[in-house]
Structure formats: C-alpha cells, structure tokens
Amino acid sequence: FGLLLATTNRGKMAELRVLLGDLPVEFSSLAEMLPGRPPVSEDGHTFEENALIKARAAAGEAMMVTLAEDSGLSVDALGGQPGVRSARYAREGATDGENNEALLAALKDVPEAERKARFHCVMVLLDPWSEEPPVIVEGRCEGSIGREARGAGGFGYDPLFVVEGFGRTMAELGDDEKNQVSHRSQAVKALRPALEALVAR
Ligand code: ITT
C-alpha cells in the first residue's frame, strides 16, 4: 500500500526511507502528493501535539495513510530547550548551522558535566479511512552537547550531539550506526507492529 511520509525535512526523509525500506510499501512525499502546499503551522506545545497536527493535516488533504513525526533536541541545562522549537531555535527559517551556533553560544559557560541532552522523536501513523485512533510512539537517544561541531554525516544538531557510550558525535557515526541508535530508529522500531498490521491488511 502507499504511505505518505509527511515531512519537508530532507534529512528525516532520507533516514525514514532507509529505516522503513524493508517493508513492502510504496512511499510518497509531500512534494509528490501535495505539491506547492505551504507548511502547516506547528503551534503545539509538545512533540506529540505537533506530530498529530502534521499527520492530521497531510492525511486529511491527501486521504492517504500518513506517517508524520516531530523531533528535536532537549538540553537539560536549558530547561529542555530548544525542544519543539529545535528547527527554529536561532530564528524562524534558520539553517542548521545557525541553530548549532546559537546552541553553542547558549551553552558557552556550561561545564562538561552539565551538558546532558537527548533527542526525541514522536511519530504518528494515521489512517484517514479508519475510525481507529492514530498510533503514537516515541523514540529517544541520550547524549551530551560538545564544544564544537564535529563530523559531516546526518543533519540538524548531529555535529554537536555526542552520543552516550560512543564518544563521537552523531555526525561522526556512519549512516548505519546512526540508524541503530537514533531516536528516529527507536520510534520506527516501536511503530513496526502497527505498520506490519497495515501491510498485512
Ligand atoms: P517537518 O516538520 O516537515 O517534518 P522540520 O525540520 O520542521 O520538518 P521538526 O519541526 O520536527 O521538523 O524539527 C526537527 C528539528 O530537530 C530539525 O530541524 C533538527 O534541527 C532537529 N532534529 C531532529 N532530528 C534530528 C536528528 O536526527 N539529528 C539532528 N537534528 C535533528
């Protein structure tokens, strides 16, 4: 069957295609199914609210089974920021580089032991033809924020995020390694039974 991957983020899209690649599913993108559509306003206060906003909007417009996700970085020393504002931490429409710079600046005086952080990913699977409630799952990945950008892989805050137990940033891991430990891969793992049930239908 066809599954709409409701994201405008190219890094997410690339990872999702790999993480879900073994399923007998035909993936569609927003660009293909809803070309020219402006992004929905993500005004929720939690990852879950925003993932639901994105899933409902896309599924309702395309009338396709839809997977949407909201993700971000939560830094203890910043009281959980940037959180749901991760994509626009430096400013609305910020580049990944600008957000990384803003985060390093905010943590300039924070010592090593207090730089703990984690990535969150909340995924919503929504079938607009079904009466069932959407399936909602979460994945997390623990780590800490380094003092400089390192590595060329991944996207977003990956060059600053030192993965717990690895001593390397997410951007220094290979794609396969990232896909074994990332918040997104944990969320996909949790979503797998629901996806397999859909495929078997
Ligand atoms: P969509 O809403 O269209 O999916 P987006 O980029 O706006 O795309 P979010 O609102 O969920 O997505 O923001 C997620 C931000 O969190 C993203 O822009 C990155 O800055 C950061 N992020 C999420 N997952 C990440 C990852 O695996 N590695 C690094 N940064 C990540």
Residue 1's pLDDT band, with cuts at 50, 70 and 90, is confident
Q: What is the 8-class DSSP label of residue 171? A: G
- 122's CB contacts (< 8 A; 6+ apart) are 46, 47, 48, 50, 51, 69, 70, 71, 136, 137, 138, 187
Q: How far apart are CA 117 and CA 187, in angstroms?
A: 18
Domain, as residue range, for 113: 2-200
Half-sphere exposure of 169 (CA within 13 A, CB side): 19
Number of domains within the chain: 1
Residue whose CA lies nearest to ligand 1 atom number 30? 156
Q: How far apart are CA 151 and CA 137, in angstroms?
A: 29
Q: What is the pTM of this model?
A: 0.97
167 known member of a binding site: no
pLDDT tens string 23-48 = 999 999 999 999 999 989 999 999 99
Q: How far apart are CA 77 and CA 83, in angstroms?
A: 12
Whether 76 sits among the annotated catalytic residues: the reply is no
Query: What is the CB < 6 Å shell around ligand 1?
Result: 7-9, 12, 42, 54, 70-73, 86-87, 96, 99, 119, 154-158, 170, 182, 184
Q: What is the ipTM of this complex?
A: 0.98
Q: Residue 192 maps to which CATH number?
A: 3.90.950.10
Strand spans (E) along the chain = 2-5, 26-29, 66-75, 116-126, 135-145, 161-163
